[in-house]
Amino acid sequence: MDRFEKNAIVLALALLFFFFGLVVYAAKALQIEVPTCLTGVNPFQEGRVIVLDEGAKRYQVNLLARMWNFEPYEIRLPAGAKVDLYLTSRDVVHGLRINYTNVNLMAIPGTVSYARVRFDKPGVYSIVCHEYCGINHHLMAGKIIVE
């Protein structure tokens, strides 16, 4: 093995450990959580907002995607709200993207997707479907109003 090959292997291993360290840092220090699909949770049949702790501003949002809307369509939350977001689909595959956040989930019939998000800034956050779900896909939207 010549010197160039050794340097390439050392560089590749250094980059591997560097990126692994960044993932650990993001998870622990920045508390960034990766959205996930929950396997032990049965899909729900209606969308709703549940107040878990009003003093601590903790909420659970069960968001139901179906042709061609999100239920509930409008969600009102106080600034600083910490939201456990559960998403399922009643009919076909949908996508969910909440603008100005890092929430990007897939809604697959029979499964429940999960993400945790915090809304610090007041404003209107649009919810859009990013997965083609039929002829009126372009009309599928919702909104989160943070007051």
What is the value of pTM for the model shown?
0.79
> What does the pLDDT profile of the chain (147 residues) look like in tens digits?
789 999 999 999 999 999 999 988 988 888 777 777 787 888 889 999 999 998 899 999 999 999 889 999 999 999 999 999 999 998 899 999 999 988 999 999 989 999 999 999 999 999 999 999 889 898 899 999 999
Residues 69, 118: Cα–Cα separation, whole Å: 23
Residues 117, 95: Cα–Cα separation, whole Å: 17
Residue 79 identity? A
Q: Which pLDDT does position 42 carry in this prediction?
A: 85
Task: Please answer whether residues 133 and 67 qualify as being in contact, where contact means their C-beta atoms are separated by less than 8 angstroms.
Answer: yes
For residue 17, the tally of other CB atoms under 10 A from its CB is 9
Which of 34, 117, 35, 114 minimizes the C-alpha distance to 80? 117
Which of 32, 38, 92 minimizes the C-alpha distance to 67? 92
Q: Which pLDDT does position 113 carry in this prediction?
A: 93
